[in-house]
Amino acid sequence: MSALDWIVLVTTLVSIIAYGLYRSRGSNTVDRYLLAGKSMPWYAMALSIMATQASAITFISTTGQSYVDGMRFVQFYFGLPLAMVIICATVVPVFHHARVYTAYEYLEKRFDSKTRVLASIVFLCQRGLSAGLTIYAPALVLSVILGWPEHITTAMMGATVVTYTVLGGIKAVTWSDVQQMAIIFAGLVISLVTVILLLPASVSFGDAVYLAGAAGRLNAVTTNFDWNDRFNIWSGLIGGTFLFLSYFGCDQSQVQRYLTGKSIAQSRLSLLFNAVAKIPMQFFILFIGAMVFVFYLFVQPPVLFQQIELKRIAGLSEFQAMPDQYQRAFEHRKQAALELVEAHRAGNTPGEIRQKAEYRAAQKELDAVRSNAAKLVESSGGEKGFSDTNYIFLSFVTRYLPSGIVGLVIAVIFAATMSASSGEINSLATVTVIDLYQRHFKRNASDRHYLWASRWFTLFWGVYAVVFAGWAKRLGSLIVAVNKVGSLFYGSLLGCFVMAFLFPKVRGTAVFCGMLAGEAAIFATAWFTDVSWLWYNVIGCAVVVAVALGITYAAAGTPEALPQH
């Protein structure tokens, strides 16, 4: 990066942190530190909720996902608007009226303490792992830019996020998110405009869109039903709805956002804003990845975008023929793309069909060489399941964007990570203090004691996330990994809250057993089948409901006869 890039990056990050800490003044009680004294307006909550989702993984991995697999991933969000409407109508008023700090605190009021503890532990497991993935993404950025080992950059990023979160509390997190989302939107627009301007003068924007579509990179909707297909309209509408019901209705990292609202109406507005804005935003990010793909039709990309592994295998005999094969495949694809554009412009339908087949065949040649190189990485001692998806957008940014813009895009990635990581770590500390420490270990202590406990547990979860981040690179595409990790736990949480809201006569023991059965079903599905992870949420929820109802009626014939505990 140039000196200008570093100036832009440092200035942006310092201003965000300073602004957040400035707005967090007065966070000197547990209520203000964890819930901002319920003083947040709807727009601040809305942007904070969006910022918590829009981590660095979104920009690093989603663009790469679109580059290699097209825009099918957008279907993952099709269930979001429906989920938001349901949550606004049911969950938001219940939590506000219950006057709780956490979603799981409500479960003890509805069921019993053991159900609350189990739900809290399930949340801590999944969100703790996800926090590690969130921190790993920007550490990956620093590693690429500075050439430092990933474990060093991971520790640096973790230390920055933890320090900021410990000092600021939820109020600093929320107001910083507002500023961060403004920077994120600006960075996205500038990234897309820049990649379009970098295309050859002979290739118009319309040509670029056509070439992306011809290569299957604009396949936003897939209607075929397939249990094993991760991204189609059915898994998005059904599995996605269940996932987002779990995420926004049961995950403390999101629930805590709208619990800070001034009123029920303000909290609802924040969620409905995300229902409207999230899909267009995700579509926009995926479209950037598709345009990066088109850019690399005319500028030869590396065989592997992960430069460290590429250098490591470069001296192997099995690799020697690959660069020439790759260059021939690239030239073949480039020529086929240009001829396809000419045929399309001329309205030559037979020629267009012929050239499209040639273009796709050339793409397969290129993909085959990349696949062989990836297999060589694995067979020569590299990580199993090697993927360079997470490096694609970074490689483009650092090599081809102009000075100053690189610094802004990197600042966007860091800003997204600070918002997502700080929110996750803050929610982990909240659940640990309120649902476990205060409830079972240290009752009736002073407010100051719990405030300091919140800060110490924030530090603990930050360290935990940094440690887990060391394994993140083994999980392939980060955007898939972070949602797959969540799906291993969300279904049972959703089932628990479904029982709480819809089945008033069912008691805690039945739900507790149902959650254990739900988790067992999810992990069995993950280990022994090829069913896509989006369906884990449906399976887990269904098992919890079925088992809880079965125990209820088998034990006593009627729900009223079951004991409360």
- pLDDT category at 243 given cuts 50, 70, 90 is confident
Regarding whether 350 and 402 lie in a shared domain, the answer is: no
One-letter-per-residue 3-state SS of 486-555: HHHHHHHHHHHHHHHHHCCCCCHHHHHHHHHHHHHHHHHHHHHCCCCHHHHHHHHHHHHHHHHHHHHHHH
* 218 three-state secondary structure: coil
The dihedrals phi and psi of 261, each to the nearest 5 degrees, come to -70, 155
- Quote the pLDDT of residue 411: 77
In this structure, is residue 452 part of a structural domain?
Answer: yes
pLDDT in tens, 157-202: 777 777 767 766 677 667 777 777 777 777 778 888 989 999 988 8
Domain boundary among 453, 472, 491: 472
- Quote the pLDDT of residue 531: 86
In this structure, is residue 544 part of a structural domain?
Answer: no
In this structure, is residue 446 part of a structural domain?
Answer: yes
- Determine the structural domain holding residue 325 and report its residue range: 307-385
Regarding whether 290 and 348 lie in a shared domain, the answer is: no
- Quote the pLDDT of residue 148: 75
Regarding whether 458 and 334 lie in a shared domain, the answer is: no
- Quote the pLDDT of residue 139: 73
Q: Which two tokens stand for residue 352?
A: 């267009």
In this structure, is residue 214 part of a structural domain?
Answer: yes
- pLDDT category at 561 given cuts 50, 70, 90 is very low
Regarding whether 191 and 129 lie in a shared domain, the answer is: yes
Q: Please compute the mean of the pLDDT values over residues 473-493 and round it to a whole number.
A: 72
Q: Are 196 and 446 in contact (CB under 8 A)?
A: no
Regarding whether 276 and 160 lie in a shared domain, the answer is: yes
Half-sphere exposure of 180 (CA within 13 A, CB side): 39
In this structure, is residue 133 part of a structural domain?
Answer: yes
Average pLDDT in the chain: 83
Q: Which two tokens stand for residue 403?
A: 């000075």
- Quick check: 45 pLDDT over 90? no
Question: Taking the alpha carbons of 7, 12, 14, 15 in that order, is the dihedral positive or negative?
Answer: positive
Regarding whether 413 and 366 lie in a shared domain, the answer is: no
Phi-psi group of 204: left, alpha or beta (phi > 0 → left; psi -120 to 50 → alpha; rest → beta): beta
Regarding whether 341 and 246 lie in a shared domain, the answer is: no
Regarding whether 321 and 278 lie in a shared domain, the answer is: no
Which helix (DSSP H) or strand (DSSP E) does residue 554 occupy? helix 536-556
Query: Which of the residue ranges 51-55, 279-283, 361-365, 373-377 would you say has the lowest mean pLDDT?
Result: 51-55
- Quote the pLDDT of residue 476: 54
In this structure, is residue 541 part of a structural domain?
Answer: no
- Quote the pLDDT of residue 229: 67
Regarding whether 333 and 451 lie in a shared domain, the answer is: no
In this structure, is residue 529 part of a structural domain?
Answer: no
In this structure, is residue 404 part of a structural domain?
Answer: yes
368-373-377 Cα angle (round to 5) = 145
Residue 542 makes CB contacts below 8 A (sequence gap 6+) with 495
Distance CA 302, CA 296 (A): 10
- Quote the pLDDT of residue 463: 84
Q: What total number of domains does the chain contain? A: 2
Regarding whether 292 and 356 lie in a shared domain, the answer is: no
Q: Are 430 and 173 in contact (CB under 8 A)?
A: no
Q: Are 139 and 150 in contact (CB under 8 A)?
A: yes
Half-sphere exposure of 152 (CA within 13 A, CB side): 7
Q: Please compute the mean of the pLDDT values over residues 96-116 and round it to a whole number.
A: 89
Regarding whether 344 and 429 lie in a shared domain, the answer is: no
Q: Which two tokens stand for residue 344?
A: 């399309």
Q: Please compute the mean of the pLDDT values over residues 264-282 and round it to a whole number.
A: 90
Q: Which two tokens stand for residue 222?
A: 């897939």
The CATH number of the domain where 264 resides is what?
1.20.1730.10
Regarding whether 311 and 288 lie in a shared domain, the answer is: no
* 388 three-state secondary structure: coil
Domain boundary among 355, 385, 415: 385
- Quote the pLDDT of residue 20: 65
Cite the DSSP H helix spans in 198-263. 205-214, 233-234, 240-250, 252-259
- Quote the pLDDT of residue 480: 62
- Quote the pLDDT of residue 560: 47
- Quote the pLDDT of residue 357: 93
Half-sphere exposure of 148 (CA within 13 A, CB side): 16
- pTM for this model (two decimals): 0.77
Domain boundary among 421, 447, 472: 472
- Quick check: 317 pLDDT over 70? yes
